[in-house]
Structure 1
Amino acid sequence: MPPVPASAIATRLSAIRQRLEAACRRCGRAPESVQLIAVSKKQPVAAMAAAAAAGQQLFGESYVQEFIDKQQQLDLPLEWHFIGALQSNKVKYLRGRTALIHSVDRWSLAQEIDRQWGRIGQRARILLQVNLAGETSKAGVAPDQLSELASQISTLAHVRLEGLMCLPPYAADPEQVRPWFRQLRQLAATLQLEVLSMGMSHDFEVAIEEGATLIRVGTALFGERD
């Protein structure tokens, strides 16, 4: 599949931002309350550079080695989030390199993040990934175990829990996904957490209407991955 031209990426980014702003207007939110994460996993560095040149500053990666390689190649003042499944033995490679980890789903992983960030005297910002539908193919803490995990994490000196993330079951009609987004918002409210990472290329407008503060958009910006 040929790469998307830089001019097309700029055009797509503008269109996504217009959709974001329209969704915010519909539900009475300020557009500044929603951040767009450009999901750049398996995308070429040139495409990311084109997005950055068009004003995109926040990128999300899912694989540790790819994340490190791209961060080294793109010597730009960007904000990097780690959004993929994370093994405890890979945490050390992210230490101090990422602004937010979206995919924490177990106590042992949180402990390792605390240990690694403690070595540099900083606090890691994290989200808890919630497996709302109990899908065996997806990671995430079960909703009924969320409160206990959040309570455990509150004891860690070098971790700051800021919110929740979800990857709900796919549905062609975004309205069918709305209940999952609403459930995540309600869970976050119960825990008094403000950050909600939810919504992707095909359903981010519904996610915004349900309270998303971070939307993760890849295909709509960069096109299909190889």
Structure 2
Amino acid sequence: MTNAIKEALQVRIEEVERRISAACEKSGRSRDEVNIIAVTKYVALATAEAAYELGLQHLGENRWQDAKEKWEAISGSETDEYGGQAVWHFIGSLQTNKVKDVIGKFTYIHSLDRLSLAEAIDKRASQLGLTVPCFIQVNVSGEQSKHGLEPEELPAFLTKVKELSSLRIIGLMTMAPYETEAEETRPVFRALRDLKNEMNERSILPEPMTELSMGMSGDFEVAIEEGATWIRLGTILVGKEG
């Protein structure tokens, strides 16, 4: 079973790599500028382990209770048997009362969207002696079903969170609406890139934001063309089970 899982995964990884390289070439970017997060929330432990063994170092989950078994199996010791280091990304909406479970286990937070959450992360990170790289989630599309700050709220939010010394705001994150044609998502990704550039020009933070977390299985090539540095791939990369 494990070999079958690995073989299927390897085929998908190679196809995704081909498409990423093509999108980078089309937009004049280096392949090294784009990082893959393997979103393992819909797959079992065996598939997550196989993905990691095949070199997918960055793993994304959106609920601690679902990630716990995988985190303990893959990152449960200081030295892992695969000779690498798993890097966990929390990509879902984070409840303030779950911060204690997540900080210290997940290196990156992609869904910072309110001051109370920022303060809770900062407090927990300070207790652990950590600085947590965070993406601020922005609801560029304006969909009511999406989490995130409204774009016009971002400058004031940045002004507040820059005072929290255990947070490091490295970039912005968004989710585009589902579209039958991926090209229809381009304005959303372009708007997030423009928003990052605008905030950097205003020098609200002590250091410029360099990262854009955007693009999923159905639209990652367009996201790359518009400047994504982190793409979050689930079904197209690791599949979906159950």
Length-normalised TM-score, structure 1: 0.95
Name the count of aligned residue pairs. 223
Unpaired segments of 5 or more residues in structure 2?
201-208
Q: What is the 5 A alignment of 1:64-143? A: 64-75=64-75, 76=80, 77-143=85-151
Question: After the TM superposition, which segments of 4 or more aligned residues of structure 1 sit over 4 Å from their partners?
Answer: none
> How much has 1:177 moved relative to structure 2?
0.3
% identity of equivalent residues: 42
> How much has 1:62 moved relative to structure 2?
0.5
> How much has 1:133 moved relative to structure 2?
2.1
Deviations 1:113-163 (A, max 9, x none): 000000011111100001112222121011110111111111101100010
Alignment of 1:199 onto 2:199: no
For 2:108, the aligned partner's letter is L
For 2:27, the aligned partner's letter is C
CA RMSD, 1 decimal: 1.2
* Other-structure match for 1:35: 35
Q: What is the 5 A alignment of 1:174-213? A: 174-192=182-200, 193-213=209-229
Name the SS for the 1:127 alignment partner.
Answer: strand
**1:45–1:74: 8 Å Cα contact kept in structure 2?**
no
Unpaired segments of 5 or more residues in structure 1?
none
Q: What is the 5 A alignment of 1:138-177? A: 138-177=146-185
**1:102–1:127: 8 Å Cα contact kept in structure 2?**
yes
The separation in 2 between residues aligned to 1:42 and 1:26, in whole angstroms, is 31
The separation in 1 between residues aligned to 2:142 and 2:241, in whole angstroms, is 27
Instruction: Pick from 220, 223, 226 the counterpart of residue 239 of structure 2.
Output: 223
